Amino acid sequence: MSEVEAGTAEPVGVYLVDKPAGLSSFAVVRRLRWLLNIRKVGHAGTLDPFASGLLLLCAGRTATRHIETFMAGTKRYLARLQLGVETSTQDPEGQVLSRQAVAVDTAAIRSCLAGMQGEQMQVPPAFSALKHHGRPLYSYARQGIYIEKAARPVQIYRLEMLAYDDRRHELDIAVTCSRGTYIRVLAGDIGTALGCGAHLSALRRTQSGPFGVGEAVDGRLLLGDAGEQGRALLMAARMPVAEAVLRAERHRADSRFQLAGIP
């Protein structure tokens, strides 16, 4: 029997969705509200529209009150950097600010990535969902008002080069990091360290805490006229809140061991 909120027939639970690129996180939230016919839906960590991957969604007050717990885990991403090109937003959605020659080899890249691991201070980007006086920073930036937030400590636990196309100057990396890390800022920092500039051209979140994208419902199957079929897919994948909380708490308790040797 489905878990329900007291006095309602709403399908309370935690839902893992593989968000397709080109769709905002809030668009996925709205879609779940419609498919599940439930008003209270929130996400445990946003993804930019150009990014894809794991989006953890909480439906019902019983679930949304645990969002902070779900957001606390380590994150894993696959990212593509375009070396030699800097943009206003540090991602593919901004205007090109500069183009530079790229003269790096894989040895230089590996050395650079090794130096980027560990704790560091990171300034949140102007185009981000971080709030300032109740409004996301991007809403100010779109009006030409750039709010600079104080640098915050983040942790890069692992940073690996997966591939480098020296003709297109495209660098593929895998990142394991703490909550609150902006991969586009990391991309810009890598470009600066390599002396050629860079921006984040593609991003995919593969894990958040103990939850992996392999468990997620393909978000493309929830679009269009999915209707009852989309609802059925979600309900089949619904995770009870108690199970999700237990997994998150176990992950947090074991984190000191996981981070000593992340698989």
Catalytic residues: 48
Query: How far, in Å, CA of 224 to CA of 256, rounded?
Result: 43
Query: How far, in Å, CA of 177 to CA of 186, rounded?
Result: 11
- Contact between 243 and 24 under an 8 Å Cβ cutoff? The reply is no
Query: How far, in Å, CA of 178 to CA of 76, rounded?
Result: 9
Tell me the Cα Rg of the chain: 19
Q: Which residues pair with 135 in a beta bridge?
A: 132
Question: Parallel, antiparallel, or unpaired for β 52-59 and 198-208?
Answer: parallel
* Proportion of the chain in helix, strand, coil states, percent, rounded to 5: 30, 30, 35
Tell the residue number behind the tokens 């978000």, with chain if given: 219
Query: How far, in Å, CA of 110 to CA of 186, rounded?
Result: 15
- What is the number of other CB atoms lying within 10 angstroms of the CB of residue 49? 17
Phi first, then psi, for residue 218 (nearest 5°) are: -65, 115
Tell the residue number behind the tokens 């690996």, with chain if given: 160
Residue type, 153: P
Query: How far, in Å, CA of 144 to CA of 138, rounded?
Result: 10
